[in-house]
Amino acid sequence: MKAERLKRAVVARAVAEGFSVARTASVDAIPEAPARLAAWLAEGHHGDMGWMEERTDQRADPRKLWAQAKSVIMLGMSYAPDSDPLAILAQTDKAAISLYARRRDYHDVIKGKLKSVAGLLAAQGGVDVKVFVDTAPVMEKPLAQAAGLGWQGKHSVLVSREHGSWLFLGAIYTTAELPPDAPETDHCGSCTRCLDICPTDAFPAPYQLDSRRCIAYLTIEHPGHIDESLRAGIGNRVFGCDDCLAVCPWNKFAQAAQETRLALRDGLDALPLADLARLDDPAFRALFAGTPVKRTGRDRFIRNVLIAIGNSARPELAESAAALVSDPSPLVRAMAAWALIRLAPARALVLAPAALAAENDADVRREWRAFAAEPENAS
């Protein structure tokens, strides 16, 4: 089958599968990627994501991942909301879970659909295919820009003129030589809304994200304690962050997402922090089954919930923190102490001596000591 016809068939199948856009690039379309990835890693902007340091040659160059590949098909699926995802930030007793996570895990949904599109390409073209959605070292954003889906905005996320900042991305590598589409150019202009709104100043410069300060990284990927200087900025965001995406002016052209398999799950939009603080491991897994939230595990999630409680300025939530000061997880105990101290210092003073006497973890002890002014060597 001629390459043009094959490409048309692939795009038609992609649309039938619910993708909002599908376009192609050549495997050599991102020559600037190796240096940019190297610079990002050299700055330490990946934080604890050690896996970003592995197979960097393959990540930055499709040909190094698969020598036989000739073309890349980049696909985008809209998850544009029909209401303001930042409205929840004003309800400080409720949890803000980012828009991408309040639904079935997009990896599962998109992977199946990519396989359908790739299957058609393999069958009709007699070619080999591989599909990726965060499953291999692939730089999806620069490839998507090269294929013309959009451009990497100043927040580093791909922005589309039709779908704003709300596209999930997926990739198909293939041995077929498909006619490439034109790349997209930058349409950010002088706008700096995404940089200005970031509550934790995670952008050292436009187009560069320091993950170590990004709320998405801190609440999802970061396995340890969250530095005190960043906690206040997290507000009530307990999983991911939508701020830089939601203020993008290009969102105004986006139609609300249609894909039913990615429909928002009822009841996850304004969960009371007090209810979340009570979740044990089985209850956590049951509540978030099938969503991306489940992957962080209960302890990290409750750490985030306690930071939100500490930021809530609602003394009635102090009991939720007090109930967790002897939790088995030091991540949880540390933030329970921090939240309690912020919301109800008098109650914290009462609990501090017993908590310190029972505490072996140095990080948790530090949270209490900062408040109780116990000398460092008093243990």
| 200 contacts ligand B12 (rule: CB under 6 A) | no
Kindly identify the residues of this chain, within the stretch 244-283, that bind ligand B12 according to CB under 6 A: 244-245
Q: Which of 19, 173, 217, 284 binds ligand B12 (CB under 6 A)?
A: 217
For residues 78 and 105, what is the distance between their CA atoms, to the nearest angstrom?
Answer: 14
Q: Lay out the site mask for ligand B12 across 160-179 (x = CB under 6 A, - = otherwise).
A: -------xxx----------
Q: How far is residue 36 CA from its own chain's centroid?
A: 20
**Closest of 153, 152, 132, 130 to residue 141, by C-alpha:** 152
Q: Which residue has the tokens 């991408």?
A: 100
Q: Which is nearer to ligand B12, 244 or 352 (CB)?
A: 244
Could you tell me the sign of the dihedral formed by the alpha carbons of 89, 155, 82, 298, in that order?
Answer: negative
Q: Which is nearer to ligand B12, 79 or 368 (CB)?
A: 79
For residues 201 and 199, what is the distance between their CA atoms, to the nearest angstrom?
Answer: 6
| 18 contacts ligand B12 (rule: CB under 6 A) | no
Q: Which of 6, 11, 25, 37 binds ligand B12 (CB under 6 A)?
A: 37
Catalytic residue among 128, 134, 269, 299: 134
Query: At closest approach, how far in Å is the CB of 197 from ligand B12?
Result: 11
- Count interface residues toward ligand B12 (CB under 6 A): 37
Q: Which of 152, 311, 312, 320 binds ligand B12 (CB under 6 A)?
A: 152
Query: At closest approach, how far in Å is the CB of 133 from ligand B12?
Result: 5
CA distances from 210 to 134, 199, 234 (A): 19, 13, 15
Q: Which is nearer to ligand B12, 243 or 327 (CB)?
A: 243
Which of the 8 DSSP states describes residue 24? E
Judged by CB under 6 A, the stretch of 209-217, 254-262, 302-310, 322-330 that binds ligand B12 is 209-217
**Closest of 98, 104, 106 to residue 81, by C-alpha:** 98
For residues 24 and 149, what is the distance between their CA atoms, to the nearest angstrom?
Answer: 9
Quickly count: other Cβ atoms within 10 Å of residue 98's Cβ: 22
Judged by CB under 6 A, the stretch of 175-183, 205-213, 249-257, 282-290 that binds ligand B12 is 205-213
Query: At closest approach, how far in Å is the CB of 215 from ligand B12?
Result: 7
Quick check: helix, strand or coil at residue 299?
Answer: helix
> Is the CB of residue 227 less than 8 Å from the CB of residue 174?
no
| 348 contacts ligand B12 (rule: CB under 6 A) | no
Could you tell me the sign of the dihedral formed by the alpha carbons of 194, 200, 205, 211, in that order?
Answer: negative
| 301 contacts ligand B12 (rule: CB under 6 A) | no
| 158 contacts ligand B12 (rule: CB under 6 A) | yes
102 φ, ψ (degrees, to nearest 5): -90, 40
> Is the CB of residue 164 less than 8 Å from the CB of residue 71?
no
Query: At closest approach, how far in Å is the CB of 136 from ligand B12?
Result: 8
Asked if 201 is an active-site residue, the reply is no
| 19 contacts ligand B12 (rule: CB under 6 A) | no
Quick check: helix, strand or coil at residue 68?
Answer: coil
Binding positions for ligand B12, rule: CB under 6 A: 33, 36-37, 40, 49, 98, 100, 133-134, 138-142, 152, 155-158, 167-169, 186, 207-209, 211, 214, 216-217, 220-221, 240-242, 244-245
Q: Report the catalytic residues.
A: 134
